[in-house]
Amino acid sequence: MKRHLISAADLTRDDALLVLDTAEEMARVADRPIKKLPTLRGRTVVNLFFEDSTRTRISFEAAAKRLSADVINFSAKGSSVSKGESLKDTALTLEAMGADAVVVRHHSSGAPHRLATSGWINASVVNAGDGTHEHPTQALLDAFTMRRHLSGPGRDLSGRHVTIVGDVLHSRVARSNVLLLATLGARVTLVAPPTLLPIGVERWPCEVSYDLDAVLAKTDAVMMLRVQRERMNAAFFPTEREYARRYGLDAIRMAALPGHAIVMHPGPMNRGMEITAEVADSPRCTAVEQVANGVSTRMAVLYLMLGGSEPALSAARTDEPGSDEPRSDDPRTRDADRPRSEETK
């Protein structure tokens, strides 16, 4: 794995599979009475959020806490950023706090890249969504969800058909998913009105269609994107009703999917726009499960980027001998399925 996770393209197929397999192990931790591992004890994870977020922020916070890291949550609103403090000065403050990982969401595409390459901080940088650019951990949690529902032996997604529908132009989720799914060998079709497709989409590793009904029958997972009105400065479609009629997923369209196919949405959903309430609440819709899977996936990412190597772990143990030794009655020591890090203790 690279030191930073800025783009889904930073992940080789082996990296992505390692994250997804580690996330499976992390998910088993969530099923235990004690949902915590000592792996990142003494490490500091900063959640640096310049843009609104519900799911992603609490998911990274839960992930870091379940790995016993110290977590600092920074939100631009109410901080000195609203007094005009620059990204550089904010970064230098984080460095002074001893951050080991900085999870950053920013309204500007490229801000996490700038943070990772500027030399302002030594921490690993994880992109939690930058402008309309990328959201690699969302793509990982989506692939994790697809693997759980769709893949056969070896949890292989190759040859699976994923259809991503809607506001591709403003969607960092779509871009990261297309890149990661291509790495994993899945076939992706984007469906959107021509006005909501980015320039250069023909060079993306996917197909493009303007007709949702034509692709549903051969789809294993359909991912509905939120219409991002807050990023729209022009009229991209005639009316909301017209958009929903052509590109929204309702019960009739859902019935055209193969029986095994799932309906995905990264949230937040515009019910009645890209997805009807009936579909959103149906058992085929994995939106809530995606949130739960997000915690396991982000645990895996933080674990592999910060503490996943055995030397890092044994060094941590030598620093504070015996302070958090799991007791023999501790479920962590009893479970045979514990993540690899625990086996070194």
Give contact residues for ligand NCD (rule: CB under 6 A). 55-56, 129, 135, 138, 172-173, 226, 228, 266-267
Cβ closer to ligand NCD: 58 or 256? 58
For residue 310, give the amino acid letter: E
- Separation of alpha carbons 79 and 203, rounded Å: 40
CB of 269 to ligand NCD, least distance (A): 9
Structure tokens at 319: 């620093």
- Separation of alpha carbons 146 and 186, rounded Å: 11
Active site residue 161: no
Active site residue 2: no
The continuous run of DSSP H or E covering 106 comes out as: strand 101-106
Angle made by CA atoms 178, 265, 127, in degrees to the nearest 5: 55
Q: Is 129 strand, coil or helix?
A: strand
- Separation of alpha carbons 75 and 275, rounded Å: 30
CB of 191 to ligand NCD, least distance (A): 16
User: How many Cα atoms sit within 13 Å of 219 on the Cβ side?
Assistant: 29
Cβ closer to ligand NCD: 226 or 298? 226
Cβ closer to ligand NCD: 79 or 228? 228
Cβ closer to ligand NCD: 179 or 313? 179
Cβ closer to ligand NCD: 106 or 172? 172
Of the residues 32, 36, 55, 65, only one is catalytic, namely 55
Active site residue 163: no
* Closest residue to bound ligand NCD by CB: 226
- Separation of alpha carbons 145 and 222, rounded Å: 12
CB of 56 to ligand NCD, least distance (A): 4
CB of 174 to ligand NCD, least distance (A): 9
Residue partners of 228: CB distance under 8 A and separation at least 6:
167, 170, 171
Of the residues 41, 57, 66, 105, only one is catalytic, namely 105
Active site residue 345: no
Q: Is 130 strand, coil or helix?
A: strand
Active site residue 135: yes
Q: Which position has the token pair 């769709």?
A: 150
Of the residues 4, 135, 170, 175, only one is catalytic, namely 135
Cβ closer to ligand NCD: 8 or 121? 8
Of the residues 44, 56, 183, 286, only one is catalytic, namely 56
CB of 289 to ligand NCD, least distance (A): 13
Q: What is the 3-state secondary structure (H, E, C) of 35-100?
A: CCCCCCCCCEEEEEECCCCCHHHHHHHHHHHHCCCEEEEEECCCCHHHHCCCHHHHHHHHHHCCCC
CB of 49 to ligand NCD, least distance (A): 11
Cite the active site residues.
55-56, 83, 105, 135
